[in-house]
Chain A
């Protein structure tokens, strides 16, 4: 095993790391706002959402989070990539990467919905009442009082999910997305040695290390006060 072989292997797997990072960031960028919106939808008790419209909305959102959290991510990837094509008689056909983005965004948004919902619900009703008594409307209250406090609560679970996300991106290899693990696997089966796997593991460790550090910083930023 020489230096050239190693550097070639590393370069090849690093190409996969670019794809992995793309899936990672696309998922976070789209699923976090989607999760916030769904959480607010689940919690909204506005007048317009009393009765049937509200029940319908909560039913749809409940079904959505149940399906995406209640079935394997791998199955969802197969469904988006192969299943939709079969169902639509070939009219819907996503590229492997597009199928990965879509599945991951909706899957992670389902988890984030529940995390945000829990975070928002953990803020006591006294905060809403104080804001209202000061003349703040529901939108201002959410934006200025509730969400900033909820962020502090959801940071730890959000960090956990982000670490899971890095590792989950490996599942994309089964729908032929050329991410880290797929490239490593190809090298391994071609050359029949495990250095590629070790390199892949090292890259994953590096990525999760960075995520852990980022969240540690964020949590520190919010450590200046306690919610009691």
Chain B
């Protein structure tokens, strides 16, 4: 049962052709790691699924509903902004740079969208936020401001904030790349716990061990398209694709 399906996505930034016919799908409950060299279009693909970027060509479906459909000329045609926002609210996103709201305390970060978008009352939103803070191990930071937290703590708050909207699909764009090495583990652990809950997850990452451990499927992107997809073992352990081998060697050396 495909909950995310993107077909022949093309994306240009000005003249730069970044996605060149990327096909991507995710089944409900599946955990997919997306790997590939820098500039191959991993972030762009993720951001298209979440409507943070607009596709030029191709179609995107979330749980069977088209948010973008190819028209007769092959251009992507989108639903209205309001409708897209509604469908995309089923996706949560975690950014490399956290993007917490600095003027709001930790608990307020978690309550903002549930109250303003989902229409929860303050008390219900607060209760929910407390539960989520417990889940990411930050109950004692509820009244801190993001600027007072370590990077790892900020990213855990960001994960809890996304979960507060009850997403069915979580997108992670290199959630640990901005972190000091000693803080990576705590964030990966939170993501692993989520994986145990049957959440659909699409994770762009350079953490190969983590990808191998957590993923149902690994997708290799290169030069704007998906060049290989398979089990973690097929892609990460015994890849027969020379580009993957070259990529993995580079990562190991780095």
The chain A residues found within 8 Å of chain B, CB to CB, are: 47, 124, 126-127, 129-137, 140, 144-145, 148-149, 152, 224-228
Near A by CB (< 8 A), chain B positions 158-214 give 158, 161-162, 165
The chain B residues found within 8 Å of chain A, CB to CB, are: 50-52, 81-82, 85-86, 88-89, 91-93, 95, 97, 99-103, 112-113, 116-118, 145-147, 158, 161-162, 165
Is the beta-carbon distance between B162 and A134 smaller than 8 angstroms?
A: yes
Is the beta-carbon distance between B82 and A126 smaller than 8 angstroms?
A: no
List the A side residues contacting B86 at CB < 8 Å. 135
List the B side residues contacting A132 at CB < 8 Å. 51-52, 85
Asked if A130 meets B103 with Cβ closer than 8 Å, knowing A135-B89, A137-B82, A225-B145, the reply is no
Is the beta-carbon distance between A133 and B102 smaller than 8 angstroms?
A: no
**25 A-B contacts (beta carbon < 8 Å):** A47-B81, A126-B95, A126-B97, A127-B101, A129-B52, A129-B95, A130-B93, A130-B95, A130-B100, A130-B158, A131-B113, A133-B88, A133-B91, A133-B162, A134-B89, A134-B112, A134-B165, A135-B86, A137-B81, A137-B85, A140-B117, A144-B116, A225-B145, A226-B102, A228-B102
Q: Pick the contact of B165 from A135, A149, A225 — CB < 8 Å?
A: A135
> Complex: how many Å from CA A130 to CA B112?
11
> Complex: how many Å from CA A134 to CA B91?
8
Closest to A222 in B: B103
Is the beta-carbon distance between A126 and B99 smaller than 8 angstroms?
A: yes
List the B side residues contacting A126 at CB < 8 Å. 95, 97, 99
Closest to B118 in A: A135
> Complex: how many Å from CA A224 to CA B104?
10
List the A side residues contacting B85 at CB < 8 Å. 132, 135, 137
Is the beta-carbon distance between B92 and A133 smaller than 8 angstroms?
A: yes
List the A side residues contacting B52 at CB < 8 Å. 129, 132-133
Closest to A145 in B: B101
- Shortest Cβ gap from B147 to chain A (Å): 5
- Shortest Cβ gap from A54 to chain B (Å): 16
Is the beta-carbon distance between A130 and B91 smaller than 8 angstroms?
A: no
Closest to A134 in B: B113
- Shortest Cβ gap from B78 to chain A (Å): 10
Extra inter-chain contacts (6) besides given A124-B99, A133-B92, A225-B102, CB under 8 Å: A126-B99, A129-B95, A130-B95, A133-B162, A135-B118, A140-B117
Closest to B146 in A: A225
Is the beta-carbon distance between B102 and A227 smaller than 8 angstroms?
A: yes
Asked if A130 meets B102 with Cβ closer than 8 Å, knowing A136-B113, A144-B116, the reply is no
Is the beta-carbon distance between B101 and A135 smaller than 8 angstroms?
A: no
List the B side residues contacting A135 at CB < 8 Å. 85-86, 88-89, 113, 117-118, 165
> Complex: how many Å from CA A124 to CA B102?
11
Q: Pick the contact of B161 from A127, A134, A137 — CB < 8 Å?
A: A134
Closest to B171 in A: A133
List 8 tightest A-B contacts by C-beta distance, closest first: A134-B113, A130-B99, A135-B89, A126-B99, A133-B93, A135-B117, A225-B145, A226-B147
Is the beta-carbon distance between A133 and B116 smaller than 8 angstroms?
A: no
Is the beta-carbon distance between B147 and A127 smaller than 8 angstroms?
A: no
List the A side residues contacting B99 at CB < 8 Å. 124, 126-127, 129-130
Is the beta-carbon distance between A148 and B103 smaller than 8 angstroms?
A: yes
- Shortest Cβ gap from A125 to chain B (Å): 9
- Shortest Cβ gap from A50 to chain B (Å): 12
- Shortest Cβ gap from B174 to chain A (Å): 13
> Complex: how many Å from CA A145 to CA B86?
19
- Shortest Cβ gap from A140 to chain B (Å): 6
List the A side residues contacting B117 at CB < 8 Å. 134-136, 140
